[in-house]
Structure 1
């Protein structure tokens, strides 16, 4: 059964706990000093998907530099992949779905949510995430029971929201066989029958649709209205040691989110710098919602679902995991 299999996120967390202990014994302050130009160095780990456009815009337009920050973007396969480095202080910030934060906290780590990077549109047909398939026998969420479905990481926003959608549609989520694949590999895996369906986000969602796949379920929408998809997060240690840097980074990120929302042409421009998308392809895509809104009820709904599925051992204390800079 899927639930009896060790997950890669659990393995990541085990390694993180060990690394954090080692770091505590031999830590230094090299990451907290300003560079030669008087800017404080900051590293953020991002998955290079469309949701992350505001960060790239903020760097490109100098919003972070105006806050006295020299920001380096490093990339990862999924938000959970950056967690070990963030917990040990090798990376300052990451953007991941709330599930990653809750599972980490359940394992005794201290991640902190700073703001919502992106949220669901709450509407089928316009959302930035869905489960797709080329198999015409898989028409609805309930049909995923017994199918092999790819997700970027286990026990993350993909499989958790899919499980909810399947159960709500009258299916049995425990009968799903999940496999981990990077987003760029999922469409070809479906076409070659390695998997029956895939959880995809933009830009990979539109690409799969263009190649003939169909939507099985808009799993974000099935979960809750305006669901938080990705959150900017850091560690409590980083907040304690670099609180002023955290505050300035958050302020520049809010400015970047506002700018992305108000300037769709600029989003199109920046997407072409870190993806291989053309302007025409971008025009066809569904983009997530970027705003300063913080949907507290959405964060609670996700936490409750994790408890129901047995992904965490107890209900996360959502409020204690949220750090709102002054």
Structure 2
């Protein structure tokens, strides 16, 4: 693992204890999360996109704002359901947000996951064409989007167009390098292999196809191997990137112990483990929660084959606890990255935070 970022599901609610009670709270707090991740030394700030639910649904205004308030962290999506998107408008919005961020967008796309709407894309004006599967529809939209952000000509010129004869008009603005920073959220080995053939980066979440009873990390490591093999066989240049998602709850002080202590007790009793279940008509393995102090987390993550194989780990966070709370755990996550890569030489998260507090520095986002 070279990089660690957070993945926020972007929930808001008026539930007791929620620090993110309204859509406005969510937008401002998500921007603050990105600032907190950068301040704590993390590498990425990623947001999940869902429609018709109380969470993040429109990524590009939010990504642009996050980009304007940060300088270094990658800004990603995990993932955009392409069946809801006009690929050419999305190309304009993505190019704009990427330029604002200075070329830091990492866009995860896919066909989407189960949702509450009976036909959400159709309601958005994109009904599924007769004889076309949802995955095929999404693939066509992804291909058109990637073509547009590559700088290729798209539209036939009119009488007032200033282009050379035979040229088509490209989508603007173009953001150099964006076309190399597109990821696909794959559910299993076959889809991962297809991602490698197409030359996109691979995203794999805390849920993957397969119910063999093997640990999630073992299943994902095969998925990653299939992706990399397909990438190489297709003749793509460069080194493809791979991200996996994990639920990691560091216990570093009394407050984190109060929130996560119950999960730790379940872990001690053996109740916290990978599970096999059914979703969207296929059998899947759901990942467990890693919870405990830094030494325990380090030891367990070293045994996770996919954590050792992927270059990026995205940690799902309890965003309703707010940016100030998550800011403190971000220091722990950055330390875990350094421990696992053999680069950690500094103080513990609690020590670092206390030192900053003693010096009168702000320790909240």
The structure with the greater share of residues assigned to helix is 1
More relative contact order, 1 or 2 (CA 8 Å, 6+ apart): 1
TM-score (norm 1): 0.27
TM-score (norm 2): 0.25
Which has more radius of gyration? 2
